[in-house]
Structure 1
Amino acid sequence: MTRVAVLLSLGKHPASGRSRRAGLDARALELALDLARGMPDAEVRAVHAGDPANEALRDYLGMGIETLDVLDVAPGHDPVSALAGFLRAGRFDLVLCGMRAEAGEGSGMVPYLIAETLEYAVVCDAAAIACAEVGARVVQALPRGRRREVTVVLPAVVAVNAAAYPARAPAFARSRRGRIAVHPAKVCEDAYLAACETRPWRALPKRMALASGVSAAERMKALTEVKAGEGHLLVHPSPEDAAKAIYDYLIEKRILQARGSKEEGG
């Protein structure tokens, strides 16, 4: 029998901020359920480390699994040791998960740390997976739409990419019938997360548009050249004069909108 474990985390809706199933982890569960259909002797277990009372976990139950194993881990604690202990005790052959979480640190290090702890092979950017004679065949998603097939010897950890097949919509009746099995876990406080500063995300400044279809030398010339009648030279300006010159330039190039003015049709 091939034992498959899927590590599931919770994400956040980008608009409302409400908890929901994580997109990449849901794709990993979809791959595991598809793999089980082609392997009648395969056993799929879904595992989550966090708060067992979170209602968003039932979205995973609605995908067709009967039981969700939840390791009771309080916020601010490192779940890697608890997950590794559960996987070691279960003797799983294949561990699937998303490339990174949607909430929390989102570092993408969990699959690598678990593979290092259990001494498993690790494959990233998986878009599809199938059984093979000596292990599993994994199709990796490469840049520019390319694909590469690799064969990995089990046991292994496979991190799923966004190029994988989208997860099915959860069924409400299945989500209510499913069972959440709570397991106690011994974890330690995440010292790195405790030392970090958490603040709301803000959009990064947009880069200035550059002319396309020309050589690199011409683009550099367009950035550095000052045409006749444009601009002026400031030598050792005061901070106020320098700031005013930059502000006037951004207004002139229509990157910023002058205070008190409104665009037509706004």
Structure 2
Amino acid sequence: MHKLLEENVNMTVLVSIGEHPLSKRPRRAEQDARALEIGLNSPDANLQVMHAGTANNAQTHTVLKDYLGMGLPEIKVLTVPQETDSLAALTSSFTDSSPDIILAGMRAENGESSGMLPYLLSEKLGMAVVPSITEILSVDKKAGFAELLQALPRGQRRKVSVKLPFVATVDMAAAAPRQSAFGAAMRGKITVVDAIATDTTTTNDEPPQWKTTPAQPRPKRLKIVKAKTAADRFKAATAKAQGGGGKVIYNNQEAAEAIFKMLKEEKVL
């Protein structure tokens, strides 16, 4: 249960346009939707949702409506050209009115998907960054601290204390986002805000000359029988090695050909 105190906490959730892994259709990003769910479950917070990207796009408009359908009255869109880094626009926007908490997914579902935006944004704003959170436990704005629940490997959780303001990335272990309601999506509005002009260092003069190719199948692993019980381990340790049809090869060329033949038979290659 969230325990936000009486002081109003300014919270901003950054949302992006996701991509379905199979159909490649635009959708709300899973991690960003979980970050928004955390914001919606903090009733005492002044919640603001922001998207940096192109505004005059039908697919973008549809996905943002899905976010609005979660129960938002408004989403602010910072107009950023396609070949312009959104970091400068977000930094300029937050410099004027810095929020106490900035939530975002760990990485985008399309594009570079490097996951560096929250870290670079925290560096520009001089905020701490907390990765892989699942919940905001409490916020004491008067004391200037917040308690978060952080996801660890193998399903473990850790309570951490961080000084306000801070940037946090939300893990897939966070609570699943609520469904998008059509009525709420129609009632919500998308407000377009012109981003402050950025310098030329953040703009790509030429589009990246990247080549996209289908991913190659991963190599097949050789079958290795693993002993599960102590008896099986003892049997494997004391069993006499069975001699097969192997032979000792001293010639490097013949040895390479034998290894290649074996890998082909095992369908590793």
TM-score by length of 1: 0.80
Determine if the alignment matches structure 1 residue 109 to structure 2 residue 116. Answer: yes
Residue 253 of structure 2 corresponds to which residue in structure 1?
237
Once residues 176 and 77 of structure 1 are traced to their aligned partners in structure 2, the CA distance between those partners, rounded to angstroms, is: 30
Equivalent residues in 2 for 1:1-266 (5 A)? 1-35=8-42, 37=43, 39=44, 42-52=45-55, 53=57, 54=60, 55-133=62-140, 134=143, 135-185=145-195, 186-187=197-198, 188-190=202-204, 194=208, 196-213=210-227, 227-230=243-246, 233=249, 235-237=251-253, 242=256, 245-246=258-259, 248-253=261-266, 255=268
Deviations 1:55-78 (A, max 9, x none): 222111111111111111222321
The 1-side partners of 2:191 and 2:103 are apart by 19
How has the CA–CA distance of structure 1 residues 227 and 111 changed in structure 2, closer, same or farther, with 3 Å as cutoff?
farther
**Cα offset, 1:210, TM superposition:** 3.0
Letter in 1 for 2:41: D
Amino acid aligned to 2:166: A
Report SS of the residue matched to 1:237. Answer: helix
Amino acid at match of 1:26: A
Q: Secondary structure at the match of 2:208?
A: helix
Between the aligned residues of both structures, percent identity stands at 39
CA distance in 2, matches of 1:206, 1:63: 43
Shift of 1:192: 11
Deviations 1:71-119 (A, max 9, x none): 1122232111111111222221110001111111111111110000000
Q: Return the offset for 1:197.
A: 4.0
Contact 1:28 1:160 (C-alpha < 8 Å) held by counterparts = yes
Q: Which runs of 5+ in 1 are unaligned?
A: 215-220, 257-266
Alignment RMSD (CA, Å): 2.9
TM-score, length-normalised on structure 2? 0.79
How many residues end up aligned between the 2 structures? Answer: 242
